[in-house]
Amino acid sequence: MSQAVRIREMRWWDIAPVLELERALFPDDAWSKGLFWSELAHARGANANRRYVVAELPGGADGTDDAPGAGDAGVAGRHASAAGGPGTGAGITPTGGRIVGYAGLAAIDGTGDVQTIAVAYDHWSTGLGARLLTELLTTATDFECREVLLEVRVDNTRAQRLYERFGFEPVGVRRGYYQPGNIDALVMRLATEAPSDPSASDSGSAAKNTEQGMTHG
């Protein structure tokens, strides 16, 4: 069942199995090993402003007995875009566990930005995507973020429904954000803290949101 999957901090030795899953899910714009190393370098130390986690299925567990009631939890992928294709692509860790998902968040100047969420195909509809997103939102709270942003493919209604359940709202569109397919991205925002300045307008925040974030690949 999905609860048998353990969510823990991503470490350098996870990069190889994570890359295997990354390349299976995002063959057109997979992150490089160097990019993962760079992101993890910003996730440790006194000045850390990122956190990455992996979802690991312990060795010997099959993970096929999904938790009841979790069927609509869905899966988020790169910038919250689910990928299609055959196979699971999940990598094996040095301890014999299997990486079936991962996620990361950056926090800069009070804004959290979901960098990536990915779930192996055979763990879609198990609630794992929701668990990973919950982990990122907890991280945003720890970083004292006032808002959390993410991008999702405009054609990925499955992921959009998941984010809406968590309170995310659309604030803009980035044209041609996903390459090489030239797919638009819907920018979504979750306010985690009420504005202290009554003059702060939603429109101003939306304009800021549509300018932030990274294009990976």
What was the pLDDT predicted at 87? 42
pLDDT-derived band at 201 (thresholds 50, 70, 90) equals very low
- The pTM of the full predicted model, rounded to 2 decimals, is 0.77
What was the pLDDT predicted at 92? 79
Supply the mean pLDDT for the chain. 80
- Residue of 98, 124, 139 lying closest to 6 (CA atoms): 98
Portion of the chain with pLDDT greater than 90, in percent: 64
Q: How far apart are CA 140 and CA 144, in angstroms?
A: 6
Contact 54, 12 (CB under 8 A): no
Distance of CA 175 to the CA centre of its chain: 20
Q: What is the pLDDT of residues 65-109, one digit of tens each?
A: 333 233 333 344 454 433 333 344 457 777 778 999 999 999 999
Helices (H), 1-46: 15-25, 33-41
| pLDDT above 90 (res 114) | yes
Contact 171, 210 (CB under 8 A): yes
- Average pLDDT for residues 143-168, to the nearest whole number? 96
Q: How far apart are CA 30 and CA 20, in angstroms?
A: 10
Q: Which domains does the chain have, with CATH numbers?
A: 2-209 (3.40.630.30)
